């Protein structure tokens, strides 16, 4: 009986040895697996866990690949309140009169005292001078300082520019206009007007019905009188403005010439071939529509030996010989 028991034990031991892997020692992992298997965690369950782990790894890799293929989001630009060049502020709405009225009514700085407003000072109009000067001609220029006026004083005619003294007196020429000039008579502004203008003394006397002194009627023939007039102008060319008046004509503020009209004696005007409303454009070849040449012509009058006036009549130019 004892031998039979020993034989059974040996047989069981051999069976246990036959179930071990050949050539492999029993490790801790094998013992752990055997421990789990002994506790009921079989091989099928371990395979399922392994598959689930691999599935998670593949899913995470797929998510990474999808993220790599997506474009990166751009960062929103940060506002720069102090960068004046980056942004432009919207224009402020303009204040209306009603808004200003509401602001003034608040009287935030106190009420304003009502101060009397002084009435504007209106300069008194200049009076016509009582000096024995006669305005014979004017040549206003675009530059007022370069204008020229021909004034007769003490029986002699001369051309003057603004600022010059007249005939060596204390009276100075201030300004030249189309029909009158301004004089400075000892600090008093006075006007000297072309003869025949409404504000001139001669025109006022005529309108009041008082007889105006005129040259004596000619006693000789017109030819002899005309010759005498030509000789007089030849000696004193500036006296031409006593017999022929020139008034500036402008179109669109541009000087186009001087309108001619008879002076104190129509004889020279009529016999030279001039007609009313003729437009003088040149004197001895100098262009009267050019400010510089017109001033030069008036300046050269005392030294001229002959006078030729070029006029435009019905768009045709005529050369009129005034004095030989």
Inter-residue contact 272 to 321 (CB < 8 Å): yes
pTM: 0.39
Binning pLDDT at 50, 70 and 90, where does residue 314 land?
A: confident
Q: Identify the pLDDT of residue 183.
A: 92
Inter-residue contact 134 to 152 (CB < 8 Å): yes
63 domain-assigned: no
Query: At 240, which CATH number?
Result: 2.30.42.10
Digit-coded pLDDT (tens) for 290-311: 878 877 877 777 676 667 888 8
Q: Give the total residue count for the chain.
A: 324
Same domain, 319 and 227: yes
Beta-carbon contacts of 308 under 8 Å, excluding residues fewer than 6 positions away, are 283, 284, 285, 319, 320, 321, 322
Residue 107 in 3-state DSSP?
coil
Q: Please identify, among 145, 174, 207, the residue that sits at the C-terminal boundary of a domain.
A: 207
When pLDDT is averaged across residues 120-137 and rounded to a whole number, the result is: 72
Q: Identify the pLDDT of residue 221.
A: 54
pLDDT at 219 over 50: no
Same domain, 231 and 298: yes
Same domain, 294 and 256: yes
Q: Which of 317, 316, 293, 319 shows the shortest CA–CA distance to 307? A: 319
Same domain, 252 and 310: yes
Same domain, 271 and 247: yes
Q: Domain of 198?
A: 127-207
Digit-coded pLDDT (tens) for 143-202: 788 788 888 887 777 888 899 888 878 889 999 887 889 999 888 899 988 876 555 444
Q: Identify the pLDDT of residue 98.
A: 60
Query: At 184, which CATH number?
Result: 2.30.30.830
Same domain, 226 and 317: yes
Chain centroid offset of residue 219 CA: 65
Same domain, 234 and 263: yes
Query: Following CA atoms 83, 88, 89, 94 in sequence, which dihedral angle do they give, to the nearest 10 degrees?
Result: 140
pLDDT at 235 over 80: no
For the chain, how many structural domains are there in total?
Answer: 2
Q: Which of 261, 294, 263 shows the shortest CA–CA distance to 278? A: 261
83 domain-assigned: no
């Amino acid at each position: 009986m004892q031998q039979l028991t020993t034989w059974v034990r040996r047989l069981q031991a051999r069976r246990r040895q036959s179930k071990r892997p050949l050539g492999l020692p029993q490790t801790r992992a094998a013992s752990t697996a055997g421990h789990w298997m002994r506790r009921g965690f079989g091989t099928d369950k371990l395979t399922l866990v392994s598959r689930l782990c691999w599935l998670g790894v593949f899913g995470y890799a797929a998510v990474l690949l999808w993220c790599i293929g997506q474009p990166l989001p751009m960062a929103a630009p940060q506002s720069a309140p102090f960068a004046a060049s980056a942004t432009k502020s919207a224009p402020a709405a303009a204040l209306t009169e009603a808004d200003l009225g509401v602001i003034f009514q608040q009287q935030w700085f106190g009420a304003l005292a009502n101060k009397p407003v002084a009435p504007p000072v209106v300069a008194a109009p200049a009076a016509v001078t009582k000096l024995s000067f006669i305005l014979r001609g004017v040549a206003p220029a675009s530059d007022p300082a370069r204008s020229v006026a021909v004034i007769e004083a003490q029986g002699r005619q001369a051309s003057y520019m603004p600022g010059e003294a007249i005939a060596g007196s204390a009276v100075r020429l201030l300004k030249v206009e189309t029909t009158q000039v301004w004089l400075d008579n000892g600090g008093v502004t006075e006007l000297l007007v072309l003869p025949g203008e409404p504000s001139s003394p001669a025109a006022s006397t005529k309108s009041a019905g008082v007889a105006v002194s005129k040259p004596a009627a000619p006693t000789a023939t017109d030819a002899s009188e005309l010759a005498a007039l030509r000789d007089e102008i030849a000696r004193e060319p500036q006296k031409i403005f006593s017999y022929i008046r020139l008034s500036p004509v402008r179109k669109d503020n541009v000087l186009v010439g001087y309108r001619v009209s008879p002076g104190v004696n129509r004889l020279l005007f009529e016999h030279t071939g001039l007609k009313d409303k003729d437009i003088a454009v040149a004197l001895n070849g100098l262009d009267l529509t050019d400010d510089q040449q017109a001033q030069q012509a008036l300046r050269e009058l005392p030294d001229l030996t002959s006078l030729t006036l070029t006029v435009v009549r019905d768009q045709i130019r005529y050369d009129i010989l005034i004095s030989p």
